[in-house]
């Protein structure tokens, strides 16, 4: 049958336009509510090239995430990244998340202890609401040439380091000293009487330790300057502080305390009214690939819960990380669970008394 070339071309163009329009209409979009650096543009582009799914990134923080999802009853986003200790309370009070279908998450891509810890800390009524992504710790930053015997938080109180140590007057310091004293503050979260007894002991220790403190640091840059100048030889600090100084002063290292570093984890959580649940699970499994996880580490400055994710990070950063956190040190991290109501007020009064003590 003879068909004129013009009509054939027109038909092809119309058909192609119809296909493209259909594909555009059916193209999925993942609305991601996350932190800065957790969804680098290059990673977003690679994900779209592989899956056809577009990712719309909204940067936020814990308070804003809860506020946005609370205001909409869990609508407006398909995947969120709150910290693990901010999920159970928000879910119990506002019901803004839906349970994670663990059968759709590739568990083999995660560091096992982190995955299990996050599942435990985000479980509400027997259902898991979060899996781990980006993490970091409070550990020890130590000038190993001057203070080689500082291995745990209590070592900061050794009289030989009078006027040469630093830590924050914040709740992580209370928690860290409690663990170093052989106490378990997290186990006492459900019993205010027991928790107060622990805080009383920590308060006494921190007051006793005051002569050793050069300054209570509040900003990371200020602490780094104190360490660079040798005014401080050991400190409780974010892990990245020691790694940063180590690049110029090799004797300064980040050390995982023997009682365990204190860890935070930002998770993946499904908003209750997600419209792209399948895309959310594809994103989770995609970014937990070691080579993709390394790209996120470079952008965010923190490591991820991806198994072997450090292997693809720039060599000097990888070496510092592996020196601080061999597998045993990672498994010994004390992950922050949700804080029960009332405890932070108690802790605040302890901190005030320590700071006011002579």
Q: The domain 23-129+264-324 belongs to what CATH superfamily?
A: Periplasmic binding protein-like II (3.40.190.10)
Give yes or no for a contact between 260 and 179, defined as CB atoms under 8 angstroms apart: yes
Per-residue pLDDT, averaged over 124-134, amounts to: 98
Work out the burial of residue 146: count CB atoms within 10 Å of its CB; fewer than 13 is exposed, 13-18 middle, 19 or more buried: middle
Residue with tokens 């059968």: 103
Lowest mean pLDDT among 16-30, 211-225, 327-341: 16-30
Question: Could you check whether 23-129+264-324 and 137-261+338-356 share the same CATH topology?
Answer: yes
pLDDT computed for residue 17 by the predictor:
46
Q: What is the pTM of this model?
A: 0.88
With cut-offs at 50, 70 and 90, classify the pLDDT of residue 14. very low
Contacts of 322 (CB under 8 A, 6+ apart): 310
Give yes or no for a contact between 114 and 327, defined as CB atoms under 8 angstroms apart: no
Taking alpha carbons only, the member of 265, 208, 214 closest to residue 87 is: 265
Residue 220 reports pLDDT greater than 90? no
- The dihedrals phi and psi of 213, each to the nearest 5 degrees, come to -85, 120
276-306 residues labelled b (16+ CB within 10 A) or e (exposed): bbebbbbbbebbbbbebbbbbbebbebbbbb
With cut-offs at 50, 70 and 90, classify the pLDDT of residue 2. very low
Work out the burial of residue 216: count CB atoms within 10 Å of its CB; fewer than 13 is exposed, 13-18 middle, 19 or more buried: middle
Q: pLDDT (tens digit, 9 = 90+) per residue, 237-295?
A: 999 999 999 999 999 999 999 999 999 999 999 999 999 999 999 999 999 999 999 99
Contacts of 219 (CB under 8 A, 6+ apart): none
Give yes or no for a contact between 97 and 269, defined as CB atoms under 8 angstroms apart: yes
Enumerate the domain spans of the chain: 23-129+264-324, 137-261+338-356
Which CATH number describes the domain made up of 137-261+338-356?
3.40.190.10
Q: pLDDT (tens digit, 9 = 90+) per residue, 160-178?
A: 999 999 999 999 999 999 9
For residue 333, give both structure tokens: 């991290």
Q: pLDDT (tens digit, 9 = 90+) per residue, 303-342?
A: 999 999 999 999 999 999 999 999 999 999 999 999 888 8
Alpha-carbon distance of 258 to 270, in angstroms, equals: 35
Lowest mean pLDDT among 23-27, 152-156, 216-220, 275-279: 23-27
For residue 234, give both structure tokens: 């050991």
With cut-offs at 50, 70 and 90, classify the pLDDT of residue 27. low
Lowest mean pLDDT among 24-38, 63-77, 127-141: 24-38
């Amino acid at each position: 049958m003879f068909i004129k070339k013009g009509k054939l071309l027109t038909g092809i163009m119309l058909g192609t336009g119809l296909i493209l329009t259909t594909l555009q209409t059916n193209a999925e979009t993942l609305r991601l509510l996350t932190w800065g650096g957790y969804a680098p543009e290059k990673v977003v582009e690679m994900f779209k090239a592989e899956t056809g799914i577009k990712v719309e990134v909204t940067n936020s923080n814990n308070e804003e995430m809860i506020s946005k999802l609370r205001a909409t009853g869990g609508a407006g986003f398909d995947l969120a990244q709150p910290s693990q200790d901010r999920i159970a309370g928000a879910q119990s009070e506002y019901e803004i998340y839906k349970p994670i279908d663990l059968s759709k998450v590739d568990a083999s891509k995660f560091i096992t202890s982190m995955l299990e810890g996050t599942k435990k800390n985000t479980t509400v009524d027997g259902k898991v609401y979060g899996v781990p992504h980006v993490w970091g710790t409070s550990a020890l930053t130590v000038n190993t040439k001057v203070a080689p015997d500082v291995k745990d938080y209590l070592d900061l109180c050794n009289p030989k380091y009078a006027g040469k140590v630093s830590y924050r007057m914040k709740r992580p310091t209370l928690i860290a000293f409690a663990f170093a004293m052989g106490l378990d503050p997290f186990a006492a979260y459900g019993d205010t009487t027991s928790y107060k007894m622990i805080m009383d002991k920590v308060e006494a220790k921190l007051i006793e330790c005051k002569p050793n403190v050069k300054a209570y640091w509040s900003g990371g840059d200020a602490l780094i300057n104190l360490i660079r100048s040798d005014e401080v030889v050991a400190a409780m600090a974010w892990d990245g502080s020691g790694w940063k100084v180590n690049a110029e002063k090799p004797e300064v290292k980040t050390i995982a305390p023997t009682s365990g570093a204190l860890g935070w984890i930002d998770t993946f959580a499904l908003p209750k009214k997600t419209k792209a649940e399948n895309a959310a699970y594809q994103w989770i499994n995609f970014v937990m690939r070691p080579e993709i996880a390394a790209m996120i580490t470079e952008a965010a400055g923190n490591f991820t819960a991806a198994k072997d994710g450090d292997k693809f990070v720039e060599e000097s950063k990888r070496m510092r990380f592996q020196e601080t956190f061999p597998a045993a040190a990672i498994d010994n991290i004390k992950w922050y669970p949700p804080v029960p109501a009332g405890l932070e007020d108690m802790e605040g009064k302890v901190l005030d008394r320590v700071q006011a003590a002579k």
